[in-house]
A = this chain, B = another copy of it.
Amino acid sequence: MTIATRIGYATVHDIFVRGKDLSKDIIPKADFVDMVCLCMLGESPEPNFKRMINVLLVTSTDHGFTPSSMSSRLTYLGAPESLQGAVAAGLLGAGDRYLGATQNVAEMLVTESKGLAADAPQADFDNRAREVLARYKAEKKRIYGVGHPIHVEGDPRVPSLRTISQECGYYRSCWRLLDALENINRTEYGKFLPINGAGAMGAIAADLGLDPKIARGLALVGRTAGLVSHIMEEAVRPTGAEMWSLVLGAETSSELAAQ
């Protein structure tokens, strides 16, 4: 029985990643995003592509208390001996609903934008959006990548992400379809569900031609850095016990049980 990977391997004297000598050809020359592209995609990125990968990583890194950072902090409260355990607990929440939803958005946009050229007339995108919204409504399927519990009037990251995508030549059919979905939903269905961060990141990943799983994967890389930051802070200015107290203070379980 044999077993193999194209990612890399070590010999007694050398380590190779994607066929390059890690010590001589990668460590002295590559920055981390070059390495991410080499490892995940097998090749070095062109500059605009690299800028977009940076944008995906930066956007998913962190922005304060979220379910994933709360989970990491609560885990660290009980198990301060394991930094990696607290990080893992936070990453496990990067699923279909938060953070990992970039993958679901990318899958939806890749599927639903089939046959639409990046430079097709706007009417084609609007018609496709109408058709998608009607079909999802009929099938009671959820549109991924729109709506946000806090940024109810629009997610501030989205315009920045759109502008950079345009500057880099990656504002293509998936982005255009997502924008059309938001617009038709608002103008014709009367529902204002603005594109959220996961939506924009999913559109970027899809327009970069990435496997949708890589969209979730990049969000995990970025978020790992954010979670480490939270745990470093938790170690010196803890909040875990306060979060627990807040929940216990709002709890009405005893009343519920008495019913």
* A residues lining the B interface (CB < 8 Å): 1-19, 22-24, 26-28, 30-36, 39-40, 54-55, 57-59, 61-68, 70-71, 74-89, 91-100, 103, 149-154, 156-157, 159-161, 163-164, 211, 213-214, 216-218, 220-222, 224-226, 228-233, 235, 237, 239-257
Contact = CB atoms under 8 A, between A and B. Distances in A.
Given A10-B63, A12-B152, A57 B35 contact: yes
Given A66-B244, A257-B19, A78 B57 contact: no
A31 B58 CA distance: 7
Max count, chain B CB within 10 A of own CB: residue among A22, A154, A211: A22
Given A81-B81, A217-B231, A220-B228, 16 more contacts: A4-B251, A5-B233, A6-B253, A9-B63, A9-B257, A11-B150, A12-B152, A23-B156, A32-B32, A40-B228, A65-B247, A65-B253, A70-B71, A84-B91, A85-B85, A91-B91
Given A3-B243, A250-B2, A216 B74 contact: no
A194 to B, nearest CB: 12
29 contacts: A1-B250, A3-B239, A5-B65, A5-B233, A5-B239, A6-B257, A9-B253, A10-B64, A11-B150, A12-B150, A12-B151, A12-B152, A12-B153, A15-B157, A17-B64, A23-B159, A32-B57, A39-B61, A39-B226, A40-B232, A65-B244, A67-B75, A67-B78, A71-B74, A87-B217, A88-B89, A89-B93, A213-B231, A218-B228
A81 B78 contact: no
Pick the 6 closest A-B CB pairs, nearest first: A79-B95, A217-B228, A78-B93, A78-B98, A9-B253, A88-B88
Contacts of A33: 31-32
Contact of A9 (B224, B242, B254): B254
B82 A35 contact: no
Contacts of A240: 67
